[in-house]
Structure 1
Amino acid sequence: MAEPAIVALNSLLRSASIDDHAQALDLASAAIRAAKGNGPDLAAVQHARVVALLKLDRYDDALRAIAEGGDALEKQCMFEKAYALYKTGDLAGAEVVLRAAGPVAGRVKRGLKHVAGQVAYRAEKFDQAAAIYHELSANDEDAKYGEENDLRINLAATNAQLQWQGKSWAVPEEEKKPAGEDLEAFETAYNAACGCISRGEFEQAAVLLKRSRDLCETTEDLSEEEKKAELVPIIVQQAYVFTQLGRFEEAAALQKSLDFKEIGESSTKVVAQTNALFLRGEINPYLAQRLSELIPEIKGNDRLFEYQDSVLKHNKSVLNLQAQKFEGVERAASKFLSQQPVPSLSKSNVDLGVLGAAAASQLKTGKEALRHILPLLKSRPDDVGLLLTAIQFYVQLENPAAAVNLLEAFFKRLETANTPDHADVRFAPGLVALAVSLYRIQGRYSSIRSELAKAAVHWQKKTDLGAPGPGIDLLRAAGIELLRSSHPADLAAAGEAFSHLIAARPNDPVVQAGIVASFATTDIEKAKPYLDVLPSADEVTANVDVQALLAAGVAAPLPVAQPTRGKKRTLAEADVPAVQKQQPSQQTATKKRRKRKLPKSYDPDKKPDPERWLPMRDRSYYKPPKGKKGKRGRAAEATMQGGIVREEHETLELVAGAGSVKVEKAPSGGGGVGKKKKKGKK
C-alpha cells in the first residue's frame, strides 16, 4: 500500500495547474523520506523532485538527486540530466548523455533533440544545431503549441552565428532574407538583425533593431523587469550598429542610457563595457589600458562566443602594444600558440600571431621588422599569423620571390604531416588564394594551375556531392583557371571540378559552360546534356547593335601609321580623331613602298667587297699613307707593344694581369716642344 505522502504527491501531480514548484519539492522530499522500498511510486516521486529542482534553477542539486536515485532513475531522467549538464556548462557531459539515450519515442525524443540543439549551439557547433532545428521543423507531429515560433527564433540565431563564423555557404539563401513573420515578435526581429550584421548589412540591421525594440517595449507578455532585461542586448547591438554607420553621437547616447550594475548577464555586461571604452574617443593609451583591465572576466556557463572573445583579446593586446608592453604581448602569444597541435586558421589565433609579430618587432615595419620576425618564425613554424605578416612585409619590399619561398616551405611541411587536419589547412581557400596571387605577380601561370588543380582534388574528396562546403567557390575558380590551359590533363581536371560542382549548383551558367568547354573535345557525351541549356551565340548577340557601338566610340583596328615627311598638319586637322579621318577604303588599302636608291657606280655583275663593313685601316689591303703623317702614326703604334691606337684623341683601357693601363695624348702646351708663336705687329 502506498504511503500517505506519496498519495498526496500523486494527487498534487495530477492537478491541472501546478505553479508552486517549491511546494512540489517539499512534498516530494517528504514522500521520499517516508517511503520504504523501491516501488514504482517512489520512482515517480524521485522524478517529480528532479523536475521541481530544475524548475527552481537548482541544476547542481538536480544532478545530485539523479545520482542518489541510482541507475534506474538515471535511465528514466535522461532528458533532465542532459538539460542540467547543459545549464551548468558541462557540454561534453551533456553530449555523452544524449548519445547514451538511445532510441526513444514521442515527446521524450523531441525533448532530447531540443536539448541536443541547445548543446550544439552553446558548443559553437552551429552546423549541427542548424541540422537539428531543420529536422524538428520538418517533423512536427509531436510539436507543442507555440513550438514553431521557438524553432524559428533558434534557427535564425543559429544562421546568424554560422555567418559570423565564416560559414555563410552553409545557410540557404532563402533563410538569409528576413521574412514578414520575422517582424511579428521582438526575438525574431532581433535575430534577423543579427543576421544582417553578420553580412555587413548595417542599414537594414538598424531598421530591424528599432522594430525589435518597439515590439519589446509594447509587448504585454512581459513584466517591466523582464522588459528591461530583454532591452539590454537590443540597445547594446544598436550602439554597435550606429558605430559601424558612423553615427557616433547616437551610439554614445545609447551607451550612456545603460546602467552596467543592472545588467544581469555577465557576457552582455562585458560587451557593453568594451564598447563604452571604444566610444570614449582619443584617450591616453596608458589610461585606456588600465581601464581595459577593470572589465571583469566571465565565469560559468554564461561566456562569450569564440569570435567575441577573439575581439576582446585583440583589443587588450592592441592596448598593451600602445602602452609599450611588447614583452608581455609576445610572451602570451608564444605561450598560447605553441600549445596548438595543428596550425590554426581561426581568426583569434591568426590575430594573435599578427599581434605577436608586432610585439616582437616593437611595431617596426619593413626590413627592421623582418630581422625580428624571421628568427621567431623558425621557432614557431606553424604560426599562420606570423607567416602572413612576414609575407606581407616581403610584398611591400617588392620581393615576392622570398614571400613565395616562405609560403611553399610552409606548404611542404603541412604535406609531409600527412594528416586530414593538416591537409585542410594546406588547401584552405584563403592560403590557396594567397599562393595564386603571389604566383601571378611573378607570372608563373603554370604554377597557378598546378596549385588550383591540387586544391580541387582535395576538396572534391572532402565535400559531399551536392553539399555546400568551404571548397565550393575554390572548385569553381580552379575550373575556370584550368580551362585557360590547352593541356589535356588540365582540361580533365577542370571537367572533374565542374562535374562535382553541378550537383551543388545545377543552375550556375558558368558551371554548365565549364562542363561543355572541358569535355567538348574529349568526351562529347558528357557535354551534350548542357549544350541545349547554354544560350547560342545568336541569342547572346541578338540585341547588340554593332553600328551603334562603333558610332559611340568603340576602337576599330587601324593599320600602323607611317611617319609623314615634309607636310605639316594644320590645327584643325590635328583635332580630328584618326578614326574619323581614315575612310573604310583607306583602312584596307596597302601603301606602296618607296623604291630604294642604289649608288650610281653600282654594278650588279661585280662581286661586292667582303671587307666593305670594316673600317678602311682594318682591311687586309690597307696601306698607310707615306710622308710625315704616316711616320707619326707608325711611331705611335710602336710605343704600345702591339696595341692599337684608334685615334689621337681617344683614351684606351688595356686589361692586363696587374690592372688597367690608360694611355692619353699629352697636352700640347706647358713645356713641350711646340710651334713658335708668331710675333705680332709692333
Structure 2
Amino acid sequence: MTTQALSSLLQRASIDDHEEVLQSSIAALAKSKSDLRAQHVKAVALLKLDRYDDCLRVFEEAGDGLKKTAALEYAYVLYKSGQLESAIDVVSRLAGDRGALHLEAQASYRSEKFRRAAEIYDELFQAEASQLNEENDLRINAWATDAQLQWKGYPEFVRHNRPTREDLEAFETVYNAACLSIAKGEFRQGEVLLKRAKELCRTSEDLTPEDRNAELLPIAVQQLYVLLRQGKSEEAQSVLEEISVKEIPELSTRKIAQTNITLARGASANPFALYKALHETPETPDSDKLFDYQDNITTGNSHAADLLVQKYDGIIRSTSKALSQAAYPSTEPRAGLLSVYNAAAHARGETGTKALKSILAALENRPKDIGLALTAVQLYVAAGNTTSAITTLEKTLQLLDESTSEQDKAVRFNPGLLGILVSLYKLEGRKVQIRSELAKAATYWQSQAEPPASLLRAAAASLLHSDDRSDLVMAGDLFKSLYQKDTKDRFSVAGYVASQATLDYSKVQAQVDSLPSVAELISGVNVSSLESAGISPSSSANAAAAAALAGARKRPSANKEDRGTKRVRKSRFPKDYDPSKTADPERWLPLRDRSSYRPKGRKGKQRAAERTQGGVVSEKAEESTVSSAAQQKPQGGGGGANSKKKKKGKR
C-alpha cells in the first residue's frame, strides 16, 4: 500500500477500525521501513488499542524523527507506561499546545507534582475552552488536585472550599469534593458527599451498566474507609457487601480495598490471618502505583503484620536494603518509616529501656539516621528521661552541623525536626537554647528560595525576648521580610514594631498608627461572661490586678482587735479536733515537762525526783558529778617541767 492509498484509507476510517488501520500501516512499512507517516499511523493505532508497550517499541525503533514529528503521542505513551518524568520533559517543550498542557497536568498529577498541576489547570481555566466537555473535565481534575494538595500537606495552595451548585451536578466532581473533605479530616461531610456521588452515579444516563459498576466500586471503597474512621461498624458492614475486590480493575484501588476490608472484618485478631490477607494483592505496576502517602500506609501495615508474626530478620533485611537505596540522611516520611520498623525489628518485641539497647547500637552504625534517632528520643521521653532524649538528638544534629553537604544542612534545619528539639527544650525550660536554635535555623532558611514562614515567625518571636541588640535587629529583619511577602500580616507588623521600638522608634512611627488599638481589640470581649463560663484570668493578669489595687487593700488596722480572725483550713486541724472543747495550754511542752506527767517505775520516779526543783539532793550523785568534772578539767599551777607540749600537725 502506498502512502497516498494509506491517506485515502485514513480519511474513510472510523473510530471502530483501529485494527484495520494498524494492519494497513504494517503493510506499508513492509515496503518502506522508513516511511515516517506510516510509522506515525501505526503508533496512533497502537495507542487506540491500548497496546502501550508495542507503541513505545515503535518509537524507539523509529528514532528521533518520529519522536519529533509525533511528540505529543510519544509523551502520551511515556505517560501511560509509567515514565512520568520523561513524559513531562517531552511535553513541556510543546509550547502553545492545549493538548500538551492537559497531558503535562496529568503527568504532573501522577508524579505528585500537584502544585504544578494546579497551575496548569488554572491556566487552562483562564483561557477559552476549545471543546464542549473540557470545562467539566477541568473542574473535575481541579478538585482532584486540591484533594491531593491537602493530603500531601499543602493546604495553603488549595483553591476550593465548598462545592458549588455546578459541582454537585456530576458524580465525579462530588466524589473529588468528598476526597478533599476527607483529607481535611471532615469525615461527616465526606460521608454526605459520597452518598450523593453514589446516587448520581447510579442514576446517570451517560454510563453503561458495566461502566456504572466500575465507577461505583471506588466510591464504595472510599465510603468504607470513612465509616471505619467514624466507628460506624454496622454501616460499614452493609457497604462491605457491595464491594467485590476481584472486580476492581485497578490494582492500586484493589490493594486499598483489600486492606480496608481486612480491617473491617476484624482479621487483626489473628496475626497470621492478617499477614496472609495483607499480602494477597500483588504489587502495583509503575503505571498504576499508589501515591506516596498511600504507599507509606500500606508499607507500614505490611511491616506491622511482619512484626506480629515475628519475621524480625526479614524486616531487617528488607528495610536495610531499601534504606541503602534511599537518600541518607533524609527527613522523607518513607525513610523515617523504614527506620522505625528496622529499629522495631532489632528490638525483637522488647519495649522501653530494654528496646533502647539494640536501637542505640543500630544508631551507632547509622548516626545520621533521623528515624532511628527519633525512635530513641521517643523511648527516652516515654521513660521520663528528657535529658537523655535531648542528648541523643543533639548528637545527631551536631554531626549534621559539622557536615559540608547541602543535603545534611537541609536535614539539620528541617522545621519538623527543629520543632521536636524546641519542644524538648521547653520541657526543661531551656529558653536560651531555644532562642539560639531558632536563630541559626532562620539564618539558614533566609538564604534559601522558599523559607518556611512558620519557622521564621517562631524565630522572630523568640528573638524579641532577648536583651541582645543583635538579636533584636535580626528579629526586625525577619518580621520585615515576612511583611514584604504578606502586607496584610498584622503579626509581622506588630513584631517589627516591637523589635525596633527600643532601638529607633522613628522607624516604626508609621507602622504603629496602622495597628489596631487595644480598645479596638478588646471591644468585643465580655469579661464577666468569660469568668462565668469558667475561664479564669491568667497569672500575669492576676499579678497586674493585685499591683493596681495594692494601695486600696494594704490598709493597716488601728487596733489588734479590729483585725479579722484568720481562717484555718480543715486540713490543718487534727483528726480528733473538737471545737467545743478547750485545748490543753501545755500541748506545746514536751511530755515530761507537763504537769500531768507521771513517770512509771523506780528509775523513772528517781529521775523525776532529781529534776524536781527544791527537792532532796543525793550526796552520791553530787560527789560523782564533782569527780567527773575534776577529771575533765586540765591541770594548772606552777612547775610544768614534766608537761609536754603537743606538737602541731596532723592528728
| TM-score bracket for this pair, using the shorter chain length | 0.7 to 0.9
Indicate how the Cα distance of structure 1 residues 286 and 58 shifts in structure 2: closer, same or farther if over 3 A, else same. Answer: closer
**Alignment of structure 1 residues 656-671 onto 2, 5 Å:** none
- The separation in 2 between residues aligned to 1:547 and 1:120, in whole angstroms, is 55
Are the equivalent residues in 1 in contact too, given 2:224–2:236 (CA < 8 A)?
Answer: yes
Residue type matched to 2:462 in 1? E
Q: 1:134 aligned to 122, 129, 133, which one?
A: 122
Residue type matched to 2:137 in 1? D
Structure 2 residue 227 is matched with structure 1 residue 242:
yes
**1:97 match:** 90
Deviation at 1:276, TM superposition (A): 1.2
Residue type matched to 2:235 in 1? E
**1:429 match:** 415
**Alignment of structure 1 residues 370-519 onto 2, 5 Å:** 370-464=356-450, 471-519=452-500
Are the equivalent residues in 2 in contact too, given 1:449–1:482 (CA < 8 A)?
Answer: yes
Q: 1:205 aligned to 190, 194, 201, which one?
A: 190
Deviation at 1:523, TM superposition (A): 4.4
Residue type matched to 2:72 in 1? F
**Alignment of structure 1 residues 57-456 onto 2, 5 Å:** 57-98=50-91, 102=93, 104=94, 106=96, 109-138=97-126, 140-141=127-128, 143-169=130-156, 171-172=157-158, 174-281=159-266, 282-456=268-442
Report the more deviating stretch, 472-481 or 523-532: 523-532
Q: 2:518 aligned to 513, 516, 537, which one?
A: 537
Are the equivalent residues in 2 in contact too, given 1:460–1:500 (CA < 8 A)?
Answer: no
**2:584 match:** none
- The alignment-based identity, stated in percent, is 43
- The separation in 1 between residues aligned to 2:524 and 2:188, in whole angstroms, is 37
Residue type matched to 1:512 in 2? V
Residue type matched to 1:237 in 2? Q
- The separation in 2 between residues aligned to 1:445 and 1:415, in whole angstroms, is 21
Residue type matched to 2:40 in 1? H
Report the more deviating stretch, 376-385 or 89-98: 89-98
Report the more deviating stretch, 375-384 or 350-359: 350-359
**2:580 match:** none
Contiguous gaps of at least 5 residues in structure 2: 570-621, 636-649
Are the equivalent residues in 1 in contact too, given 2:347–2:355 (CA < 8 A)?
Answer: yes
Report the more deviating stretch, 438-447 or 321-330: 321-330
Indicate how the Cα distance of structure 1 residues 550 and 205 shifts in structure 2: closer, same or farther if over 3 A, else same. Answer: closer
Are the equivalent residues in 1 in contact too, given 2:272–2:309 (CA < 8 A)?
Answer: yes
- The separation in 1 between residues aligned to 2:63 and 2:325, in whole angstroms, is 40
RMSD: 3.4
Q: Normalized against structure 1, the TM-score is what? A: 0.76
- The separation in 2 between residues aligned to 1:498 and 1:476, in whole angstroms, is 7
Are the equivalent residues in 1 in contact too, given 2:303–2:315 (CA < 8 A)?
Answer: yes
Indicate how the Cα distance of structure 1 residues 279 and 526 shifts in structure 2: closer, same or farther if over 3 A, else same. Answer: farther
Q: 1:26 aligned to 23, 26, 31, which one?
A: 23
SS at match of 1:370: helix
Residue type matched to 2:629 in 1? G
Deviation at 1:291, TM superposition (A): 2.8
**1:527 match:** 508
Indicate how the Cα distance of structure 1 residues 327 and 528 shifts in structure 2: closer, same or farther if over 3 A, else same. Answer: same
- The separation in 2 between residues aligned to 1:337 and 1:25, in whole angstroms, is 46
- The separation in 1 between residues aligned to 2:426 and 2:403, in whole angstroms, is 28
Residue type matched to 2:102 in 1? H
Indicate how the Cα distance of structure 1 residues 627 and 569 shifts in structure 2: closer, same or farther if over 3 A, else same. Answer: same
Are the equivalent residues in 2 in contact too, given 1:110–1:142 (CA < 8 A)?
Answer: no
Indicate how the Cα distance of structure 1 residues 33 and 375 shifts in structure 2: closer, same or farther if over 3 A, else same. Answer: closer
Q: Compare the two structures and name the one with the higher helix fraction.
A: 2
Indicate how the Cα distance of structure 1 residues 454 and 570 shifts in structure 2: closer, same or farther if over 3 A, else same. Answer: closer
Are the equivalent residues in 2 in contact too, given 1:192–1:208 (CA < 8 A)?
Answer: yes
Contiguous gaps of at least 5 residues in structure 1: 576-625, 640-656, 659-682
Deviation at 1:286, TM superposition (A): 2.3
- The separation in 2 between residues aligned to 1:637 and 1:333, in whole angstroms, is 85
Deviation at 1:71, TM superposition (A): 3.3
Deviation at 1:284, TM superposition (A): 1.7
Residue type matched to 1:135 in 2? E
Are the equivalent residues in 2 in contact too, given 1:94–1:119 (CA < 8 A)?
Answer: yes
Indicate how the Cα distance of structure 1 residues 80 and 526 shifts in structure 2: closer, same or farther if over 3 A, else same. Answer: farther
**1:586 match:** none
**1:633 match:** 629
Aligned pairs, number: 571
SS at match of 2:348: coil
Are the equivalent residues in 1 in contact too, given 2:461–2:495 (CA < 8 A)?
Answer: yes
Are the equivalent residues in 1 in contact too, given 2:326–2:335 (CA < 8 A)?
Answer: no
Indicate how the Cα distance of structure 1 residues 503 and 201 shifts in structure 2: closer, same or farther if over 3 A, else same. Answer: farther
Residue by residue over 1:646-681, the C-alpha shift from the partner in whole angstroms, topping out at 9 and shown as x without a partner, is xxxxxxxxxxx99xxxxxxxxxxxxxxxxxxxxxxx
Indicate how the Cα distance of structure 1 residues 483 and 28 shifts in structure 2: closer, same or farther if over 3 A, else same. Answer: same
- The separation in 2 between residues aligned to 1:440 and 1:637, in whole angstroms, is 64
Deviation at 1:37, TM superposition (A): 9.6
- The separation in 1 between residues aligned to 2:628 and 2:377, in whole angstroms, is 67
Are the equivalent residues in 2 in contact too, given 1:338–1:380 (CA < 8 A)?
Answer: no
Structure 2 residue 49 is matched with structure 1 residue 51:
no
Indicate how the Cα distance of structure 1 residues 67 and 343 shifts in structure 2: closer, same or farther if over 3 A, else same. Answer: closer
Report the more deviating stretch, 120-129 or 434-443: 120-129
